[in-house]
Structure 1
């Protein structure tokens, strides 16, 4: 069988191979774009990489010469080997010039029911760039831990939301946990960069006046709050899992990944340690629908349709009013939220 007849007989395989090579070329180009900072070096590496990949695609679809096919294949294989070796050198670090709001790592110490948290964030935000930084040490009594609330903040349409969990104590104290990108001072968030090891991750523990208020009142994001239906034993377990995660992250830096290691997946992973049967669901990726996923698992206040819980859990109007009246922010935003006792939602 001659070369031309061989090419024709392997057409489906060549098409599949060409598609795989094209996707790999796109992935590598995006990785180089987000990781190579120096403009000239970025341009050179992008040209070399894309040229090697596209030459294989062209060879598979059109070049008649077996020698040309072999040459392009060897060239691209060499480029893939170099890319793989370079990618393996990218390591997460705690030693960078971090943005102020993620500059400190949470440290947790637990002795019986006594919890000491170091580096709790309690910034006073006037705008996204105008703020008074405060990092505090706080103590909590686990015997007084009573509740957990799911908070979703929508910043990019109805399908994507930032996921936070707020824990409440019977003395009115609250603490919110949020897995976030740990950006450097010169960086700004990009969801695409989160696929390509551009950011480390950080677990922030913060006051609601800081981390919820800045989203609803400063950034103007749509924020929803839901009471989670959990026994006190499971609330305590989830709280402690967050502390374990914070200490582990303090010991070992990790990259943030937009798809597999983000603000929603950590809630699912920690909850699954408590209830291993939790099912995988597309709403773990489309985080804007995460509350509906929890509702379907009977994890939100029972006796209400999901739409009603969502409507009554929208806190923005109450959050803005609390600024005008100087009311207690945490109390104000819970007014009318199903499942929350009157003692928590009355000023």
Structure 2
């Protein structure tokens, strides 16, 4: 396996579209790095640059410490797993696994050994003589992984590999990919727009938006301490409530948070913000709860609800003409539009960002 390093990478297409901007990221040997972001943010472009399928406009790409900008795809020794599996429909599973090895003119015994190893590792022994159309979606995905594995590449690239699977199968195959990576110690770059995949698979996650890295961190840090409003709103389902607010300092480092003239949280970490500062505040839906009898809270008006069995998503307004927020309340709550109730937010759960009006 090998490390991967992107140093100030840029990609601009002939039509002027700037797909990647000053992209800098180091992936140590043996790490599973997840790259997540909305459609069009540059994720797949990055994989194509790494695989050698497109040229880098500027910057440096290193694979295993070696500058790879001008290396051919074959010289880079990278295996890519696509979202549509890209299996040869007229070849059996065995044939699909053998094909990349035959193209490299490996000895028959070496081919047999590698195919047997991959089949055992991925539990494909019973389907080696079947065609892709005779396999389930999960089995086809494992064959695609196996075809990459037998090549013994330096780096694995996985481009939205689970997008064609149903929800239950996605969870199963996601677990299998994570376990496979841990057993092999393989260097993997996993691209997805699905934050559930990102949060459950990645030891580190790079969040990408408009061709730029927004934050690189472990899942817990991304969720609890997002680096900017984009990360705060993108990571989490339902997303973080983001809204304009004003701070009233009431101590050396604490403040009250006012929205539409009313206090919605106390004991907020004010950091370097001055008294009366206009800020963009963020509150996770699960940080909003029903106010207790002795608890300071604020009056809210219910806009709508979604009952999910184990929890209720409550949509409400914290003041007249304010935007709707979301609260995630445990259990079932019989509330409907127009109902009034008192809610509260723990001050330590509030994240503050500079406001750009």
Q: Name the structure with the higher strand share.
A: 2
Whether these two folds match at TM > 0.5 is no
TM-score (norm 2): 0.25
Q: Name the structure with the higher helix share.
A: 1
